[in-house]
């Protein structure tokens, strides 16, 4: 790992955690509540202060931990419909299937278990660096000075979302998936494409918490187009996840 790279700087302050316990998954649900319910108002507030849906039961969840404080900065999940229960759907299949461009890719005919959808990526407001906040300290708890983030730590905040995207791609890679879907703004797709994740639009734009469309990334594009620096970042995250979990990779029954 090079001395002054995105990967080495990121690894100094953050670590990807695979949410393999009920307690860790609940930490992800709390982050989602803070962003999607309390901050954005996209989901209803509730007394448990956790945001969940039916897809959580067949999804893999990741958290990003700030090492010095132990605070979880963000989360992402990869929803994987099981081949044993064909009635289970991806989030976009349940909510936006009418916008799908089936001539590009048709999820309904792909082998279930061979693909997933990146979903519910969320980063706590505390860990988002905004221009208007660049001279303000980031504080999670006013009475705890340990949670005031230094300028060096904040310099890594813009890479948090990218790290979470790469975590979801790494999960799909470990699972031997043939591709993955994500619902996002076209401008975000242009940014990810520049970074080396060549998602292809496979759905019409629609108003879904803003103008968004469905995109698909085939396995060949999981990491082959990443720049050397981002490939190093990807390998760091991939190796972190491999050490934390054991998954049975997908195999196509027709290949047996």
* CATH number of the domain encompassing residue 224: 3.40.630.30
Domain span holding position 35: 6-245
Residue 255 lies in a domain: no
The C-alpha angle 199, 201, 206, rounded to 5 degrees, equals 130
Residue 92 lies in a domain: yes
- For the chain, list residues with pLDDT below 70: 1-4, 129-148, 246-256
- pLDDT at 4 (0 to 100): 64
Query: Do residues 80 and 60 lie in contact, with contact meaning Cβ atoms separated by under 8 Å?
Result: yes
pTM, rounded to two decimals: 0.86
Residue 165 lies in a domain: yes
Q: Find tokens 């310099």 and name the residue.
A: 155
Residue 252 lies in a domain: no
The residues with which 212 forms a beta bridge, in sequence order, are 206
For 210, half-sphere exposure in the C-beta direction (CA atoms, 13 angstrom radius) is 8
- pLDDT at 139 (0 to 100): 34
- pLDDT at 136 (0 to 100): 39
- pLDDT at 151 (0 to 100): 77
**Domain tally for the chain?**
1
- pLDDT at 193 (0 to 100): 93
Residue 105 lies in a domain: yes
- pLDDT at 59 (0 to 100): 96
Residue 121: enclosing H or E segment and its boundaries?
Answer: strand 115-123
Q: What is the dihedral of CA 45, 48, 50, 51, to 10 degrees?
A: -50
Report residue 224: phi and psi, to 5°.
Answer: -70, -25
């Amino acid at each position: 790992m090079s001395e002054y790279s995105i990967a080495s700087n990121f690894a100094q302050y953050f670590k990807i955690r695979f949410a393999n316990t009920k307690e860790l998954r609940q930490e992800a649900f709390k982050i989602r509540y803070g962003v999607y319910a309390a901050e954005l108002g996209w989901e209803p507030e509730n007394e448990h202060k956790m945001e969940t849906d039916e897809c959580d039961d067949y999804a893999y969840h990741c958290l990003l931990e700030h090492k010095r404080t132990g605070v979880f900065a963000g989360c992402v999940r990869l929803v994987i419909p099981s081949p044993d229960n064909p009635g289970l759907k991806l989030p976009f299949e349940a909510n936006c299937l009418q916008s799908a461009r089936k001539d590009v890719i048709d999820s309904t005919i792909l082998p279930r278990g061979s693909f997933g959808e990146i979903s519910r990526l969320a980063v706590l407001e505390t860990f988002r660096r905004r221009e208007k906040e660049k001279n303000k300290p980031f504080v999670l708890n006013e009475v705890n000075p340990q949670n005031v983030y230094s300028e060096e730590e904040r310099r890594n905040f813009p890479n948090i979302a990218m790290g979470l995207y790469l975590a979801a791609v790494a999960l799909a890679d470990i699972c031997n998936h043939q591709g993955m879907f994500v619902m996002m703004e076209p401008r975000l797709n242009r940014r990810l494409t520049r970074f080396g994740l060549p998602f292809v639009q496979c759905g019409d734009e629609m108003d879904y918490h803003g103008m968004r469309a469905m995109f698909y990334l085939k396995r060949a594009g999981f990491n082959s187009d990443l720049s050397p620096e981002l490939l190093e970042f990807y390998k760091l995250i991939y190796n972190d996840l491999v050490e934390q979990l054991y998954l049975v990779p997908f195999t196509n029954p027709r290949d047996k």
